[in-house]
Structure 1
């Protein structure tokens, strides 16, 4: 009962009521040579991974029933399947839910299959492998409960064409800009390019939910303490980072105003070539390579530490603990994560960086496709990238609470320090509740 209560809590009672009437059908085949794979993504990503699965079927003489959904539908459909005891043999899962899935018996321990495979699992980025291990108390060691579908270094990019047109010096690919230098570049890039008297280019457009990590970490701040028990947003270093982001729009006016984003948001303006600096994550490359301007990568600007920082995302590929074909299911998970031919398909279409180190060393040498500075992605994985801590805690709601009432702060209508002091208490409550639920579920499943 505790296991079901925890999993259902992720959706809420009203969602469960609605979902109970629809169901997901049978997600495991009775055919011994057929396994089911459930995953998510854009139309392009689903096409790419379907091609990789086809290669698996041919090599292993196995049939894979594919269930693919858009990203916004996936979590609900997966939870419905889990709650109904119809978990697919192989499935994507969010790293932030991994510990709960491990503790509550949703994911199979695939260590024996990893140890006996001929696939180059040992060549996968160690950070990706460690993320899906769990020793019963914490992540990062112990049995393996999943393969990394990818490591997604959230890099910073710039519009080379706009820089050249505005006569602005390109950022150094190896030496990060300070916040002051970054602001200066943004000011030079903000202007009226078509001469109609209205600003139509901006230095940057900040997505706070995604980019705040880079600013706070480089300034010496963090979300939680080292053992993940205390929320630490109420510090001067954190306040300084958040205030810098707010001031980019409200004081310096180098990002689109609220009125400017009513018709076109920052992302859409970047696609139109109107933004100087903008994130360029690996999953963006398929689209970004079709744009009418040249772009490249650079480190994020740095705060007081003088060291760049950004986050690394990841999805896991797991095997259902109740699958009757765990051997073949584990083989598919490993195949998608590291088989050289499968990786050529996935990486070649601009969906991820290489999941294996050997492939990555060759990939960064290719300057025929953008970005030319692919080394930046590898630097993030090997050097200055981090996992956001909601990927490691039992539940991610504590971080969601930070953004609940953030908008007045971003608009300069509420004091940053005051907000952080207040929201720290709310976030701590969610973190404590998640840690207590972890303890309860450990005891119930021990």
Structure 2
């Protein structure tokens, strides 16, 4: 996802962690009608309306749709929660799940899903487990279900096929990842002044460290926390090497637009203009990218010291209000939107996501004349080497956001990554400790209220 879409979920966590517990809210009266709140552009709105109309025809359950733009969703949902008017069914961010569960905003739908006959084995395991919570850890396969995936969003590395062919460079292998050194050699080869005016106008890549460094860190054996999310582990040689590599692409190797050049035209726009050889691609980008004036395709992320590629995979979920007057019908809508083959096909045809259903996704990836041709890379990420964003399964994101607050000197080449990580780790640890304490207090308060 590009920053604007990601920021909606990450920033929202700070608000939700602090305020969701104030009021679990209550859903609308049992008037035989469900309310469903989600966010999206025009294509997504139209696709969902079509799917929901079909659901109503099949079940007789009327659904009132409440739709917002992506940037307004978190604010409007929080207002609904605070105002005791929680929608019966609504989109949930991975990172807000725990605060919603401990404050009673979300309903445990495990039994409803089990009774529905939905084949969870045919839905991406990552997507299902993202909305499981056992009271301590999120994402555990034996946790209770508090939602089902609306989608999964694998973040692949894309390349400008037209540019590489024009430069006489061998196209990347679909299966074997490039090493960092191999990738850097290609970046250097394509970075040049193409019109002879003395200024670079073609670059190897253009990465935003906050949204693009995760894969480099993981493939180099680094991580943000230990397994039980109690210790921040960023102050390691492996993390420093990954961060320094990404920073050096601009300041040392000059294979990425400088800050001044990016301010004139950001790297996303430069990719769209055909000025970059490599740039990350999500499924949500595909409809736009398929209309570009050059051919592009997907490849594994370049691999660090582990030799294995890594990248992040996002997800949006669909959950049920903890106080809905129609829990069975609401859960039925969730399973329909997440797992019904016809509903899924409607969303896939709109070009807004990878199919949730494994068998449908396999056919989708193998379609003749698919764009991009290597759609299979999306599925490889989902099944093999994608990971959740570091703050997606913790109680709040402030600890993770702290890593990026004062990182600019590293990006500008004025401070080494190792120095910065040594400084920032204690601040991140303090914030993670506070988040874990808040999680324990919220859980205890909720248990007391239920008692």
**TM-score bracket for the superposition, by shorter chain length:** over 0.9
The answer to whether 1:339 aligns with 2:340 is yes
Counterparts of 1:215 and 1:414 in 2: how far apart (Å)?
A: 19
The Cα offsets for residues 200-231 of structure 1, whole Å up to 9 and x where unpaired, read as: 11110102122111000000100001111111
Tell me the equivalent position of 2:304: 303
- Matched residue, 1:444: 445
> Aligned residue for 2:252?
251
Bigger shift: 129-138 or 275-284? 129-138
Select between 215-224 and 370-379 the one with higher mean Cα deviation: 370-379
Q: Secondary structure at the match of 2:227?
A: coil
Check conservation: 2:151, 2:316, Cα contact below 8 A: yes
2:286 matches 1:281: no
| Alpha-carbon distance between aligned partners in 1 of 2:363 and 2:369, rounded to the nearest angstrom | 13
- The aligned counterpart of 1:136 is 135
Question: CA 1:12–1:129 in structure 2 vs 1: closer, same or farther (change >3 Å)?
Answer: closer
Q: CA deviation at 1:103?
A: 1.5
Q: Which residue of 1 aligns with 2:5?
A: none
Tell me the secondary structure at the aligned position of residue 149 of structure 1.
strand
Q: Counterpart of 2:41?
A: 42
The corresponding residue for 1:93 is: 92
* TM-score (ref. length: structure 1): 0.92
Counterpart for residue 6 of structure 2: none
Q: Structure 1 residues 241 and 332, CA, compared in 2 at 3 Å: closer, same or farther?
A: same
Query: How far, CA to CA, are the matches of 1:177 and 1:367 in structure 2?
Result: 27
**C-alpha distance in 1, partners of 2:120/2:158?**
31
* Greater CA drift, 51-60 or 289-298: 51-60
Preserved contact between residue 300 and residue 309 of structure 2 (Cα < 8 Å): yes
Structure 1 range deviating more: 269-278 or 52-61: 52-61
Task: Determine the structure 1 residue equivalent to 2:392.
Answer: 391
User: Structure 1 residue 27: deviation in Å?
Assistant: 6.8
Matched with 2:3 is none
Correspondence 1:62 to 2:47: no
CA displacement 1:18-38 (0-9 Å, x = unmatched): xxxxxx9x9736521x21111
The 1-side partners of 2:396 and 2:259 are apart by 32
Q: CA deviation at 1:62?
A: 2.5
1:382 CA drift (Å) = 1.0
Q: Is the 8 A contact 2:224 2:233 kept in 1?
A: yes
* Superposition pairs of residues 366-445 of structure 1, within 5 angstroms: 366-445=367-446
Distance across 2 between alignment mates of 1:406 and 1:55 = 49
Mapped to 1, the partners of 2:288 and 2:31 lie a distance apart of 39
SS in 1 for 2:259: coil
Instruction: Give the CA RMSD over aligned residues.
Output: 2.1
Residue by residue over 1:61-96, the C-alpha shift from the partner in whole angstroms, topping out at 9 and shown as x without a partner, is 222111111111111111111122111000001101
Between the aligned partners of 2:208 and 2:227, the Cα distance in structure 1 is: 26
Shift of 1:371: 1.1
Alignment of 1:6-405 (within 5 A): 10=15, 28=28, 30-32=30-32, 34-139=33-138, 140=140, 141-405=142-406
Give the Cα separation in 2 of the matches to 1:334 and 1:8. 25
Alpha-carbon shift at residue 378 of structure 1 (Å): 1.0
Instruction: State the alpha-carbon separation in 2 of the partners of residues 94 and 9 from structure 1.
Output: 12
User: CA 1:63 to 1:98, structure 2 compared with 1: closer, same or farther past 3 Å?
Assistant: same
Q: CA deviation at 1:254?
A: 0.5
8 Å contact from structure 1 (residues 11, 76) kept in 2: no
CA distance in 1, matches of 2:128, 2:118: 14
- 1:254-299, Cα deviation, whole Å (9 max, x unpaired): 0111121112100001111111101111111111111111111000
Asked if 2 retains the 8 angstrom alpha-carbon contact of 1:99 and 1:393, the reply is yes
Residue by residue over 1:283-342, the C-alpha shift from the partner in whole angstroms, topping out at 9 and shown as x without a partner, is 111111111111110000011110000011011100001110111111111111111111
TM-score (norm 2): 0.91
Give distance in 2, aligned partners of 1:213 and 1:131. 18
Distance 1:362 1:127 in 2: 19
Structure-2 residue corresponding to 1:19: none
Residues 407-443 of structure 1, C-alpha deviations (whole Å, 9 max, x = no match): 1211112222111111111111110000001111121
1:276 to 1:108, Cα distance in 2 relative to 1, 3 A = same
Structure 1 Cα separation of the partners of residues 335 and 166 of structure 2: 46
| Residues 367 and 399 of structure 1, relative CA distance in 2, 3 Å threshold | farther
Structure 2 distance, partners of 1:42, 1:208, is 27
CA contact (8 A) 1:297 1:371 kept: yes
Do the aligned partners of 2:27 and 2:323 also contact (CA within 8 Å) in 1? no
Contact preservation (8 Å) 1:312, 1:387: yes
Q: Which moved more, 1:295-304 or 1:407-416?
A: 407-416
What stretches of structure 1 of length at least 5 have no aligned partner?
Answer: 1-6, 17-23
